[in-house]
């Protein structure tokens, strides 16, 4: 047994020796030291502070106000004789229109030009009668809607200001699954917040919109209510998506968020800025 084991070890040594000899005769192939590469990447992404300081001033908080009618009970339901007659078998009565009440909304947006054009989601400002935009330096401006496009869930606002910080649009086609990204917005109204994650998938269909545009970037960067219209940013400090939706049974973040790719957003934005609407081709 010992002799056989010694023979096997000797054979293994000889085979390795032959491989080494052949390798020395052939040109060396480039190799990648994976642990070293991973360590270098970890060190390179140890802090996002430099990127955040550059991009965060261009992401704004958007507040909207709209009027909504409060539903009112049918007056018969308050009549004790009516209630006594029907008892537990109260009929379903149509609700009466009540008085008006104010409805407020909260979202985020991205400054795309120094003279005050802002890109956001359509659903952030849908039906709003008054819109205000707050910058990270706490300056607040009234905003008007330049144009809004429900099919893509995108809208462009304008504030009267100059020399504003801008976030440049990148090429979302260059984003790869696994790339690190940052999500910037104002979740739940607590103030501007930056979270990190990766591109989890591309070309996602959520079924949450009307189906006109179902080509989302999926990310696990935490996104919550109030992040809508905010920025999804690459490690180059460029806008590659407008955060738009989350998939969650509870309404909170579970690591499945969706952003409208910047290449789609740019096409819609350019048309809204020029004409206030989006023209699409019709087949047939």
Tens of pLDDT, residue by residue over 24-46, are: 444 444 455 655 555 555 455 68
Is the four-CA dihedral 217, 223, 227, 230 of positive or negative sign? Answer: negative
Are 123 and 84 within 8 A, CB to CB? Answer: no
Q: pTM of this prediction?
A: 0.74
Instruction: List Cα–Cα distances, 123 to 56, 110, 253, in angstroms.
Output: 22, 15, 19
Task: Tell me the two tokens of residue 194.
Answer: 């930056």
Closest to 148 in 3D by CA, of 119, 172, 175: 119
- Classify residue 153 by its DSSP letter: T
Q: In 166-190, which positions are buried (b, 16+ CB within 10 angstroms) versus exposed (e)? A: bbebbebeebeeebbbbbbbbbeee
**Cβ 241 vs Cβ 259: under 8 Å:** yes
Radius of gyration of the chain (CA): 28
The mean of the pLDDT values for the chain is 81
Question: For the segment 149-192, what is each residue's pLDDT rounded down to a tens digit?
Answer: 999 999 999 999 999 999 999 999 999 999 999 999 999 899 99
The residues that are catalytic are: 123, 153, 228
Is residue 177 situated within a structural domain? yes
Q: What is the DSSP letter of 243?
A: E
Render pLDDT for 239-272 as a digit per residue (tens, 0 to 9): 999 999 888 777 677 889 999 999 999 999 999 9
How far from each other are the two terminal CA atoms of the chain, in whole angstroms? 83
What tokens does 187 get? Answer: 């979740």
Strand partners, 201: 218
282 within domain boundaries = no
94 SS3 class: coil
Indicate whether 40 belongs to any domain.
Answer: no
185 part of a folded domain = yes
Q: Residue 176 sits in a domain of what CATH number?
A: 2.40.10.10
Higher pLDDT, 11 or 78: 78
Domain limits for position 182: 168-275
Strands (E), 34-139: 59-72, 96-111, 117-120, 130-134
Structure token digits, residue 133: 């935009």
Query: Which two tokens mark 178?
Result: 């696994």
Please report whether residue 180 resides in a domain: yes
Per-residue confidence at 92, pLDDT binned at 50, 70, 90?
low
CB 131, CB 64: distance < 8 Å:
yes
Q: How many domains does the chain have?
A: 1
Do 233 and 218 meet the contact criterion of CB atoms below 8 Å apart? no
Q: 199 Cβ partners below 8 Å, 6+ apart?
A: 175, 176, 177, 178, 179, 181, 217, 218, 219
Residue 24 is predicted with a pLDDT of 41
> Residue 85: inside a domain, yes or no?
no
- 249 located within any domain: yes
């Amino acid at each position: 047994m010992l002799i056989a084991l010694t023979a096997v070890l000797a054979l293994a040594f000889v085979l390795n020796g032959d491989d080494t000899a052949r390798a020395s005769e052939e040109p060396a192939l480039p190799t990648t030291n994976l642990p070293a590469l991973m360590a270098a990447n970890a060190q390179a992404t140890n802090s996002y502070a430099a990127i955040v300081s550059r991009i965060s001033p261009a992401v704004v908080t958007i507040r909207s106000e709209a009027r909504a009618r409060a539903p009112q009970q049918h007056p018969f339901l308050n009549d004790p004789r009516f209630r006594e007659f029907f008892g537990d078998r109260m009929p379903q009565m149509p609700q009466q229109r009540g008085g008006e009440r104010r409805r407020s909304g909260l979202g985020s947006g991205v400054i795309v030009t120094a003279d005050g054009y802002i890109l956001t989601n359509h659903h952030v400002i849908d039906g709003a009668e008054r819109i205000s935009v707050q910058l990270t330096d706490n300056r607040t401006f009234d905003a008007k809607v330049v144009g809004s496009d429900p099919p893509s869930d995108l809208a462009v606002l304008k504030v009267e200001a100059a020399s504003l910080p801008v976030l440049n649009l990148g090429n979302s086609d260059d984003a790869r699954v696994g790339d690190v990204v940052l999500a910037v917005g104002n979740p739940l109204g607590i103030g501007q917040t930056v979270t990190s994650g990766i591109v989890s998938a591309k070309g996602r269909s959520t079924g949450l919109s009307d189906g006109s545009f179902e080509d989302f970037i999926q990310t696990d960067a935490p996104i919550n209510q109030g992040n809508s219209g905010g920025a999804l940013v690459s490690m180059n400090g460029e806008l590659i998506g407008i955060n738009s939706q989350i998939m969650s049974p509870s309404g909170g973040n579970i690591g499945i968020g969706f952003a409208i790719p910047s290449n789609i957003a740019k096409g819609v934005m350019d048309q809204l800025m020029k004409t206030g609407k989006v023209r699409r081709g019709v087949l047939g």
